Amino acid sequence: MKIVSIINYKGGVGKTTLTANIGAKLASEGKRVLLIDLDPQASLTFSFISVDNWKEKYQEEKTIKSWYESFTDRRELRNLSDFIITPEKVNKKVDGKLDIICSHLGLINIDLELAVMLGGASPRQQRNNYLKVYSLLAQGIAGIHKEYDFVIIDCPPNFNIVTKSGLVASDFYIVPAKPDYLSTLGIDQIDKHVKELVNDYNNYSIQDENVEYSKINPKMLGVVSTMVGIKNDKPIISQQQYISKMKLLDIPVFQVKLRDNKSIYSDAGEFGIPVVLKKANNKTANMVNLELNKVTLEILNKISGRDKKHE
């Protein structure tokens, strides 16, 4: 099983769209995929489930918030599989399986509760609490590792405790970025912060022989240019400078660029079927679909190590 987090500090960069389409494409190829929505806005959740259905069936007891609360309220780590749902519409269109753990706006408060639990009366207790809190999601996913080929985590646009727990659980992470000033501003900071998290976590994990935690090493697969304006089969001039700027950073960049097309992407959430699973009915739709297929293939190649020339 491979675990991939999707993260950017800036919202509105196509993070959720990328997550939904990668997951759907992998499931269409026979893979067993679990999506975890860690973003309190719950956009990924509502890409597959209607708001009314979520309120009626899942809001109270079947979200990632509910799972975290089993630990913050009772110090009990419930089985993550109890919170997994299988959206009907999308699963009728795939050969594999696509499941999801829903999010909840109240997830914002979970971060505050977890922060309180990081304290301790002694340095040793503080270390233990740090490892226990940040490894929560990793422990939860470990309990279902035989059930899925891929777990894809949609992280919130920040670097709070919940986001860090997603990265601690991950083997890889991807940064989607719109080629503009604000969206590309913090890319190098994400890389820096993840490395600091890895260093702190691994340092704590070896200081006490009585606490058994595996070291972590989430690897950046790269930056995906999203919402790209295309003219004459090339990115528009105003975005080319930011695409070039990303290539100058000491981080990998995906070759595939995902074009902006609100009319094609906007309907996906309403019908619960990601764009990559829809039949293209015009040239533009076909190009959008082709790019999504290519970015998924590039991800698989990077994970398997077959794309080293671009790293």
What is the model's pLDDT at position 34?
98
Between CA 276 and CA 290 the distance in angstroms is: 8
Note the pTM of the prediction, 2 decimals.
0.91
User: CATH number of the domain that 145 lies in?
Assistant: 3.40.50.300
CA distance readout (Å), 45 to 17, 21, 24, 87, 273? 11, 13, 13, 10, 12
Between CA 1 and CA 212 the distance in angstroms is: 21
% pLDDT > 90, the chain: 60
Q: What is the pLDDT of residues 13-57, one digit of tens each?
A: 889 999 999 999 999 999 999 999 999 999 999 999 999 999 999
**Closest listed residue to residue 21, CA positions, set 239, 291, 251, 275:** 275
Q: Is 66 exposed, middle or buried (0-12, 13-18, 19+ CB in 10 A)?
A: buried
Q: Which domain holds residue 94?
A: 2-310
Report the side by side order of strands in the sheet with 32-37: 97-101, 32-37, 150-154, 2-6, 172-177, 219-228, 253-259
Between CA 58 and CA 108 the distance in angstroms is: 18
Averaged pLDDT, 88-94: 94
Number of alpha carbons in the 13 Å side-chain half-sphere of residue 272:
18
Please give the tally of structural domains in the chain.
1
Of 1-10, 44-53, 196-205, 233-242, which gets the smallest average pLDDT?
233-242
What is the model's pLDDT at position 207?
62
Q: What is the pLDDT of residues 245-304, one digit of tens each?
A: 777 777 888 988 888 876 666 665 566 889 889 887 788 888 888 999 999 999 999 998
What is the model's pLDDT at position 310?
38
Between CA 286 and CA 148 the distance in angstroms is: 29
What is the model's pLDDT at position 311?
39
Most confident residue range from 84-98, 112-126, 186-200: 84-98
What is the model's pLDDT at position 46?
94
Q: What is the pLDDT of residues 110-156, one digit of tens each?
A: 999 999 998 877 888 888 889 999 999 999 999 998 999 999 999 99
- Contact between 288 and 257 under an 8 Å Cβ cutoff? The reply is no
Tokens coding 110: 């979970």
Q: What is the residue-averaged pLDDT of the chain?
A: 88
